[in-house]
């Protein structure tokens, strides 16, 4: 009897965690058709660090936004990025950034940048790139110092 109860508890716990994991899948949270490569077509584009670096090199008009805190930004950030903390992104369009601009967001691990990307898309931004894994997986140049 105890073995059966233990087994049922394990199954119940597994079901709860599986449900949470699938709900947190970023490609399921934005409307659009999922492509074979795991990205969602339309406004949201999830990119690896290597893809992000290539996009930034190929298109200098992309606006790179760090959505972490000012202290995190000061400790280490990608050169050329602007600090706009996720918490400050509300219902108003970003100052000086048109809705047809290409925007790339990153944070520490990818969670806050996904939230920021969703908010930007809801505000009407059409080209939002989210760096998967954030700065923790960014193997390229970084710098320290406060936002300018």
**Nearest CA among 48, 54, 75, 52 for reference residue 65:** 52
Confidence (pLDDT) at 42 = 77
Please indicate whether residue 9 is annotated as part of the active site: no
Please, are residues 67 and 141 in contact by the beta-carbon 8 Å criterion?
no
Amino acid 2: pLDDT:
52
Structure pTM?
A: 0.73
| Dihedral sign computed on CA atoms, order 27, 30, 33, 37 | negative
CATH number for region 31-137: 3.40.250.10
Residue from 52, 56, 105, 107 carrying the catalytic annotation: 107
pLDDT for the residue 24: 37
Distance CA 93, CA 22 (A): 30
Q: How far apart are CA 57 and CA 110, in angstroms?
A: 21
Task: Give the pLDDT means over successive 10-residue stretches in the chain (148 positions).
Answer: 46 39 36 43 90 98 98 98 97 93 98 97 96 98 94
Within its chain, how far is the Cα of 35 from the centroid? Answer: 18
DSSP string covering 37-70, please?
A: TSPBSSSEEEE-HHHHHHHHHH-TTPEEEE-S-H
- C-alpha to C-alpha distance for 100 and 72, rounded to whole angstroms: 28
**CA-based diameter of the chain, in Å?**
66
Domain ranges of the chain: 1-27, 31-137
Which pLDDT does position 3 carry in this prediction? 52
């Amino acid at each position: 009897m105890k073995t059966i109860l233990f087994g049922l508890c394990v199954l119940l716990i597994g079901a709860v965690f599986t449900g949470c994991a699938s709900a947190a899948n970023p490609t399921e949270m934005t409307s659009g058709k999922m492509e074979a490569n795991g990205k969602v077509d339309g406004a949201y584009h999830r990119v690896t660090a290597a893809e992000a670096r290539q996009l930034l090199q190929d298109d200098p008009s992309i606006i790179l936004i760090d959505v972490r805190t000012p202290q995190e930004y000061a400790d280490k950030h990608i050169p050329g990025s602007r600090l706009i903390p996720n918490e400050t992104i509300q219902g108003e369009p970003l100052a000086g950034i048109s809705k047809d601009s290409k925007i790339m967001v990153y944070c520490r691990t990818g969670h806050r940048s996904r939230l920021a990307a969703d908010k930007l898309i809801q505000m009407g931004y059409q080209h939002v790139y989210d760096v998967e894994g954030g700065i923790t997986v960014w193997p390229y140049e970084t710098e320290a110092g406060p936002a300018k």
